[in-house]
Amino acid sequence: MNIDEQKKEIRKRIKSLKGEISLDVKKKRSLSILNRLKNNKAFERAKTVMLYWSMDDEVFTHDFVVEYAKTKTIILPCVKGDVLELRVFKGLENLVDGDGFGIPEPSGDLFLGVDDIDLIVVPGVAFDNQNNRMGRGRAYYDKLLRTTNCEKIGICFKFQLLEKVPTDEYDIKMDLVISE
């Protein structure tokens, strides 16, 4: 089985596992992950953090984004074509429906200071014990992560943390993966 087939099989398996858990349970399980994140030294130090506005099958970040936007500059990605554009989160009232996945995204000016980001919190389909990440297959995050040297922390549910995920030269490794 080649790497693309392996990734396709893992995506299918993880999607099935995600489907077995209700959104309420995902939200509860997300709390322990985000609690570990907020107590992480890199997060505590960071002034500018790129988070993400979660989809229903991801670690639930909505409340976390709102909470930390009070004390940090929170950047959220916006899917535009084949790239992630970055914008500052300035409150729920400034969110608009996104083009890519129907995820609410911040309106307003682009954030162009990629070098000013201290920490990027990254979702993924699966991660492994060597801090490798496997995304949804469009390489949105890998393209962005390649342009920055900041700390990268992946977050996931425990069933998304595998012994090994298949990787290629385009996949960007995390500095740390936080799970339940």
Tens of pLDDT, residues 47-67: 999 999 999 999 999 999 999
Structure tokens at 126: 């699966």
Q: Is 80 left (phi over 0), alpha (psi -120 to 50) or beta?
A: beta
**Whole-number average pLDDT of the chain:** 94
| The pLDDT value given to residue 137 | 81
Residue 86 contacts residue 105 (beta carbons within 8 Å): no
When divided into structural domains, the chain yields a total of 1
Residue 3: count other Cβ atoms within 10 Å of its Cβ.
11
The answer on pLDDT for 136 being more than 80 is yes
Give the CATH number, domain containing residue 82.
Answer: 3.40.50.10420
Contact 116, 48 (CB under 8 A): yes
The pLDDT score that the predictor gives to residue 102 is 76
User: What's the whole-number mean pLDDT along residues 132-148?
Assistant: 90
Percent with pLDDT over 70 in the chain: 99
Residue 24 has pLDDT above 90, yes or no: yes
pLDDT of residue 117: 98
Q: Is residue 75 within 8 Å of 51, Cβ to Cβ?
A: yes
Per-residue pLDDT of 25-36, as tens digits, reads 999 999 999 999
Q: Could you report the per-residue pLDDT of 63-112, keeping only the tens digit for each?
A: 999 999 999 999 999 988 887 899 999 999 999 988 767 789 999 889 99
Predicted pLDDT at 100: 66
Residue-level pLDDT at 140: 86
> What sign results for the dihedral spanned by CA atoms 170, 81, 8, 178?
positive
Q: What's the domain range around 114? A: 3-178
pLDDT at residue 13 greater than cutoff 90: yes
Task: Determine the pLDDT at residue 87.
Answer: 96
Q: Mind listing the pLDDT tens digit for each residue in 109-118?
A: 899 999 999 9
Residue 7's SS3 state is helix
